[in-house]
């Protein structure tokens, strides 16, 4: 898990190429989206809704994979599996890890946009 | 941002994904490929948008709020109906079971995250090809269906036209049984029946080579000829000759019509039959005895007129005897083992039938039990004609439409036939035809034909040929009579029969005056024993009692002139509706 990089440079380069002018829009969309997803994850845990947790984690995972944030995506998968398996006791720790990793990714992406 | 400008070959693609990030990436990727994009944030939006924008391809996320991708896929497939709209699931699912569920819901393929534009393009192109192929197939199928519907419609119209021309004549007469598929016309089968103006009837069963419209096309002129000629009093042989000539002229080489002509003479208890190329006909006598009526001629439409033989075979019958004729569909019926029904099948059916069973029913039943599929009977045509007492059949009428034209009312004509022609030619159809120009006489065609026929046969057989009528009263004499008739017909030099027809209007209708004169020596009508008290000025002499009674019954008056070789008949008719009993109007 720890071997995964924060960002997949190759994937991001391709995205930049494809999105052209809309790359910044995409980055902002992802950052906004992600904050919403993290809020949904937290809400699901507080409501002990394992299914909602799995759903939110699954969607978040998809976006992470698409955007080129493999480590964050891997953490989301762990949360999704925990939701599917109805094991919510470890989830708060996973969400902490997700938030921490998201801050890393966000910092890196902000730098990418400023460039 | 919603749509890019549509390029000529661009497709309309619906993307449904609740993740703004993922949807944005995919939308941009698809737009960059030159397609027009519609975006939905959940399954419900996707279904609504699908109805509105009619996309060519749908890209659908599996897990979405409100309505998930699976349900949206099901609804979209239903909405698409026969249209093929490829449905590609967007997924980061990796478990086989989950992926299979997407396909079960109607998905055609997957696109996995992260999106790869090369794969995306290849998939869109592949599915577009499939979509176009499906479209081509559907439109071809629709075209074929449309053509087929058109063909069926045309056949129905042709059938209606044909039915108007051919109608069913007197096929529903109580002495006729028949079976023909409603679309027999397009199997090339025809069946006509019509009563002669003066009693008896003519039935024709025919089977054209081939199927469909080409087979049906020859039927139309045959019907016209048949009903036209029979109502004018032409006989079976005349009709056959006309059929053959017409078909020879209009049918392409290799096409012809197998046919059977049945002429019943209830009065003389005999049948005249002509079979050209049909399977054996069967005369089933009241005793149960069977007589085969084989084909002795080539089918119609093959031989030129000068080689065509219209000779009909004469069968002496009794009331209750039935003649069965059928098309080869019967013989060609096959059972489950592939065996043919054949002539032997017909014979078995006729021989093994119960005494009371109608031979027609026996054959129908046997072929029904025999043949492997019920559809077989669509191709079969059969009719049975039963000999009956003449009296019983008099109620049968043809369906001749009255002409809306007033027609000729004041006219006179003379027609004289001489010498050899006396034996070769019957003037009756021509004379009847002239009379039928008067619409008021058309309803009386049977009576007029009978009058003309009676006058003509008396003038010829007793006036010109001087044949004694009492010969016909014994079986031996009957043969002698006809032998002598044939012999004397070859010696008619200087002889003639002259008809004078006059028609004039009367206040209530019209009056037809028929004078028939012959070159014979006449007879002493002043001292004829029969009906002495009734006839004026003379009484019947050379007339057999029966013929004279008939004339007297039908006509207003019957008068003999000169030395008995000139007969004058007055026939009155009234405009329909002026009398409460039109049938007796001329005899008041």
Residues in a beta bridge with A68: none
A5 shares contact with chain B (CB less than 8 Å): no
- Taking residues B172-200, report their average pLDDT: 82
Across B471-494, b (16+ Cβ under 10 Å) vs e yields beeeeeeeeebeebeeebbeebee
**What confidence tier does B399 reach under pLDDT thresholds 50, 70, 90?**
very low
The closest alpha carbon to B30, from B109, B121, B136, belongs to B121
B347, B290 contact by CB (below 8 A): yes
A31 shares contact with chain B (CB less than 8 Å): no
B2 shares contact with chain A (CB less than 8 Å): no
Using CB atoms, which residue from A33, A59, A67 is nearest to B63?
Answer: A59
Residue B8 has pLDDT above 60, yes or no: no
Residues in a beta bridge with B265: B270
Would you list the domain boundaries of chain A?
9-114
Contact: A15, B25; criterion CB under 8 Å: yes
Instruction: Quote the pLDDT of residue B538.
Output: 39
Contact: A66, B28; criterion CB under 8 Å: no
Phi–psi pair at B467, nearest 5 degrees: -85, 135
Question: How close B133 gets to chain A, by Cα (Å)?
Answer: 31
Residue B535 has pLDDT above 70, yes or no: no
**Chain A residue at shortest CA distance from B62:** A59
Contact: B115, A61; criterion CB under 8 Å: no
Q: Which of residues 90-119 of B touch A (CB under 8 A)?
A: 91-92, 113-115, 117
Contact: B114, A29; criterion CB under 8 Å: no
Instruction: Quote the pLDDT of residue B478.
Output: 74
Residue B403 has pLDDT above 60, yes or no: no
Instruction: Quote the pLDDT of residue B136.
Output: 92
Instruction: Quote the pLDDT of residue B204.
Output: 95
**Chain B residue at shortest CA distance from A70:** B114
Strands B270-276 and B257-265: antiparallel
**What confidence tier does B534 reach under pLDDT thresholds 50, 70, 90?**
very low
B28 shares contact with chain A (CB less than 8 Å): yes
Contacts of B114 in chain A (CB under 8 A): 11, 65-66, 68
B63 shares contact with chain A (CB less than 8 Å): yes
Instruction: Quote the pLDDT of residue B27.
Output: 94
Spatial neighbors of A107 by CB under 8 A, at least 6 apart, are: none
Contact: B92, A26; criterion CB under 8 Å: no
Interface mutation target, options B2, B19, B89, chain A, most CBs of A under 10 Å: B19
Instruction: Quote the pLDDT of residue A3.
Output: 64
B205 shares contact with chain A (CB less than 8 Å): no
Interface mutation target, options A59, A60, A61, chain B, most CBs of B under 10 Å: A59
A102 shares contact with chain B (CB less than 8 Å): no
CA B181 to each of CA B187, B378, B491, B564: distance values in angstroms, whole numbers, following the listed order = 9, 5, 52, 56
**pLDDT tens digits for B118-127?**
899 999 999 9
Residue B235 has pLDDT above 80, yes or no: yes
From A55-59, B434-438, B531-535, the region with the lowest mean pLDDT = B531-535
**pLDDT tens digits for B455-495?**
888 888 888 888 777 777 676 777 787 888 888 888 888 88
Residue B332 has pLDDT above 50, yes or no: yes
Using CB atoms, which residue from A18, A32, A62 is nearest to B113?
Answer: A62
From B181-190, B308-317, B500-509, B560-569, the region with the lowest mean pLDDT = B181-190
The closest alpha carbon to B459, from B500, B520, B515, B550, belongs to B520
Contacts of B29 in chain A (CB under 8 A): 18
Contact: B22, A63; criterion CB under 8 Å: yes
Residues in a beta bridge with B290: B284
Instruction: Quote the pLDDT of residue A114.
Output: 62
Angle at B329 between CA B311 and CA B256, to 5 degrees: 45
CA B103 to each of CA B77, B86, B110, B426: distance values in angstroms, whole numbers, following the listed order = 12, 11, 9, 84
Contact: B28, A22; criterion CB under 8 Å: yes
From A55-64, A75-84, B460-469, the region with the lowest mean pLDDT = B460-469
Q: Which domains does chain B have, with CATH numbers?
A: 12-137 (3.40.50.2300), 167-393 (3.60.40.10), 411-587 (3.30.565.10)
Residue B5 has pLDDT above 50, yes or no: no
**pLDDT tens digits for B237-287?**
999 999 999 999 988 888 899 999 999 988 788 899 999 999 999 999 988
Using CB atoms, which residue from B19, B22, B29 is nearest to A18?
Answer: B29
Query: Three-state SS for B335?
Result: coil
Using CB atoms, which residue from A11, A18, A26 is nearest to B21?
Answer: A26
Size of interface A-B (CB pairs under 8 A): 53
Q: Which of residues 467-496 of B touch A (CB under 8 A)?
A: none
Query: Three-state SS for A86?
Result: coil
- Taking residues B137-155, report their average pLDDT: 89
Question: How close B5 gets to chain A, by Cα (Å)?
Answer: 17
Spatial neighbors of B309 by CB under 8 A, at least 6 apart, are: B297, B303
Contact: B20, A55; criterion CB under 8 Å: no
Strands B322-326 and B381-386: antiparallel
Residue B434 has pLDDT above 90, yes or no: no
Contact: B24, A25; criterion CB under 8 Å: yes
Contact: B20, A29; criterion CB under 8 Å: yes
Average predicted confidence (pLDDT) for chain B: 82
B70, B101 contact by CB (below 8 A): yes
- Taking residues B51-60, report their average pLDDT: 93
Three-class SS of B81-114: CCCCCCEEEEECCCCHHHHHHHHHCCCCEEEECC
Using CB atoms, which residue from A11, A29, A55 is nearest to B24?
Answer: A29
Q: Which CATH superfamily is domain A9-114 in?
A: HPT domain (1.20.120.160)
Instruction: Quote the pLDDT of residue B526.
Output: 60
Interface mutation target, options B41, B114, B119, B120, chain A, most CBs of A under 10 Å: B114
Question: How close A14 gets to chain B, by Cα (Å)?
Answer: 9
DSSP B180: E
- Taking residues B369-378, report their average pLDDT: 66
Contact: B21, A65; criterion CB under 8 Å: no
Query: Three-state SS for B217?
Result: helix
pTM: 0.54
């Amino acid at each position: 898990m720890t071997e995964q990089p924060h960002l997949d440079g190759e994937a991001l380069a391709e995205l930049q190429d494809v999105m052209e002018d809309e790359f910044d829009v995409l980055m902002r969309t992802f950052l906004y989206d992600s904050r919403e997803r993290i809020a949904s994850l937290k809400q699901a845990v507080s409501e002990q809704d394992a299914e909602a947790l799995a759903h939110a984690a699954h969607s978040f995972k998809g976006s992470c994979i698409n955007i080129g944030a493999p480590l964050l995506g891997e953490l989301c998968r762990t949360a999704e599996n925990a939701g599917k398996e109805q094991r919510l006791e470890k989830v708060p720790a996973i969400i902490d890890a997700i938030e921490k990793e998201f801050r890393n990714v966000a910092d890196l992406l902000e730098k990418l946009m400023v460039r | 941002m919603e749509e890019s400008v549509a390029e000529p070959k661009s497709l309309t693609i619906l993307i449904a994904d609740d993740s703004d990030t993922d949807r944005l990436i995919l939308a941009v990727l698809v737009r960059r490929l030159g397609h027009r994009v519609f975006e939905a944030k959940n399954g419900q939006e996707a279904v609504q948008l699908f109805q509105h924008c009619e996309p060519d391809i749908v890209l659908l996320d599996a897990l979405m709020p409100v309505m998930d991708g699976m349900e949206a896929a099901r609804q979209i497939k239903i909405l698409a109906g026969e249209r093929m709209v490829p449905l590609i699931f967007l997924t980061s699912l990796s478990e086989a079971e989950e992926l299979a569920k997407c396909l079960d819901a109607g998905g055609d393929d997957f696109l996995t995250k992260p999106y790869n534009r090369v794969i995306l393009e290849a998939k869109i192109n592949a599915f577009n090809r499939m979509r176009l192929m499906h479209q081509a197939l559907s439109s071809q199928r629709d075209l074929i269906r449309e053509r087929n519907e058109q063909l069926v419609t045309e056949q129905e119209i042709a059938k209606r036209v044909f039915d108007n021309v051919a109608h069913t004549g007197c096929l529903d007469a109580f002495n006729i049984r028949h079976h023909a598929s409603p679309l027999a016309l397009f199997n090339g089968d025809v069946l006509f029946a019509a009563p002669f103006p003066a009693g008896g009837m003519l039935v024709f069963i025919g089977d054209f080579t081939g199927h469909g419209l080409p087979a049906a096309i020859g039927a139309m002129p045959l019907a016209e000829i048949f009903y036209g000629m029979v109502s004018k009093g032409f006989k079976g042989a005349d009709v056959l000759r006309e059929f053959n000539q017409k078909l020879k002229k209009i049918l392409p080489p290799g096409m012809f019509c197998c046919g059977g002509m049945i002429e019943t003479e209830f009065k003389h208890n005999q049948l005249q039959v002509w079979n050209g190329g049909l399977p054996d006909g069967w005369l089933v006598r009241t005793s149960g005895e069977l007589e085969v009526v084989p084909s002795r001629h080539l089918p119609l439409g093959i031989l030129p007129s000068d080689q065509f033989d219209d000779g009909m075979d004469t069968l002496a019958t009794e009331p209750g005897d039935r003649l069965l004729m059928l098309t080869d569909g019967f013989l060609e019926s096959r059972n489950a083992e592939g065996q043919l029904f054949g002539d032997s099948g017909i014979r078995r059916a006729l021989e093994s039938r119960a005494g009371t069973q109608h031979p027609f029913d026996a054959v129908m039943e046997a072929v029904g039990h025999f043949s492997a599929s019920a559809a077989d009977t669509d191709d079969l045509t059969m009719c049975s004609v039963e000999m009956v007492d003449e009296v019983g059949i008099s109620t049968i009428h043809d369906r001749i439409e009255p002409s809306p034209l007033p027609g000729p009312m004041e006219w006179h004509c003379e027609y004289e036939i001489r010498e050899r022609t006396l034996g070769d030619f019957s003037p009756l159809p021509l004379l009847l035809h002239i009379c039928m120009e008067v619409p008021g006489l058309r309803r009386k065609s049977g009576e007029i034909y009978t009058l003309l026929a009676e006058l003509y046969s008396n003038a010829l057989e007793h006036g010109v040929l001087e044949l004694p009528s009492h010969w016909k009263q014994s079986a031996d004499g009957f043969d002698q009579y006809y032998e002598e008739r044939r012999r004397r017909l070859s010696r008619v030099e200087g002889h003639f029969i002259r008809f004078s027809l006059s028609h004039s209007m009367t206040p209530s209708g019209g009056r037809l005056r028929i004078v028939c004169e012959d070159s014979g020596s006449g007879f002493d009508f002043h001292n004829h024993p029969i009906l002495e008290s009734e006839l004026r000025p003379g009484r019947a002499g050379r007339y057999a009692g029966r013929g004279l009674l008939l004339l007297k019954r039908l006509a207003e008056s019957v008068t003999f002139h000169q030395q008995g070789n000139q007969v004058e008949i007055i026939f009155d008719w009234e405009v329909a509706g002026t009398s409460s009993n039109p049938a007796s109007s001329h005899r008041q």
